[in-house]
Amino acid sequence: MKNQNELTTFSHELKNSLTLIYSQLQYIEQTHPELLADLHWSGIKDDFSSVFDMVRHMLTPASDASAALEPVDLTSLLEEIKYSWSSKLKEHGIRFSVQAEDSCPYYIKGSKTKFLQIFNNLISNGVNAINRKKETAREPLISVHVSREGSFIVCSLSDTGIGMTKEQQARAFYRGVSFEPKGNGIGLSVVSEIAKDLDISIHMDSALNQGTTFTLIFPGLADTAK
């Protein structure tokens, strides 16, 4: 996009197209009520709603951004994401594991749409890293662990992919930098930008042929341990 006006126009037209598609989904559901019991159909609708929300947030003026902030249970969100990715991960033979140190909700404040962008980009990055790895001694795995450290919520997402050198890690979050064939170098830069906007600290640890771990540190809410 050449400027913000073009981006806004594109987003607006995309929103209109998505509205039409969603109307068709509603019609299909009305004429085939048996789909209401189909988990895959529900997943499609949920994923579509997430895309629609993403476009809507792009059209929201920056001054109104705070209105989109809300408490989000991180573990519930991760389970939704796990289900959304289940078919794709099964196709690539990748296991996805989510663990939390206790069963209490892990509330973080922010935009659910933005959180989805972060995790979807990180998981996509992990899938690509695993698929590029030639050595198969370790199980193809993306694992997420959630814990509490004082007033913070810590979430670590690890993959058993190809990993990165120290030099690559130093440039990984730069827009336009990619270490895979035909990569656009946008995903991790989007993660970094959103993390900065939502006061999320992000750290990366990686080793060649071992994998990569992204650690996200979220400001917790006062009632997170209740």
Mean pLDDT score, 164-180: 85
Q: Where are the domains of the chain?
A: 4-59, 67-219
Confidence of residue 8 (pLDDT cuts 50, 70, 90): low
Q: What is the per-residue pLDDT for 50?
A: 73
Q: What is the per-residue pLDDT for 105?
A: 93
Q: What is the per-residue pLDDT for 75?
A: 95
CB 112 within 8 A of CB 77: yes
The model's pTM: 0.73
Query: For the domain bounded by 67-219, which CATH number is listed?
Result: 3.30.565.10
The amino acid occupying position 146 is: V
Q: What is the per-residue pLDDT for 11?
A: 64
pLDDT digits (tens, 9 = 90+) for 37-49: 888 888 787 777 7
| 3-state secondary structure labels for all residues of 38-91 | CHHHHHHHHHHHHHHHHHHHHCCCHHHHHHHCEEEEHHHHHHHHHHHHHHHHHH
CB 119 within 8 A of CB 84: no
Q: Is the pLDDT of residue 160 over 90?
A: yes
Structure-model confidence comparison of residues 197 and 144, the more confident one: 144
Q: What is the per-residue pLDDT for 129?
A: 93
pLDDT digits (tens, 9 = 90+) for 95-148: 999 999 999 999 999 988 889 889 989 998 999 999 988 777 789 999 999 999
Q: Is the pLDDT of residue 176 over 80?
A: no
Q: Is the pLDDT of residue 202 over 90?
A: yes
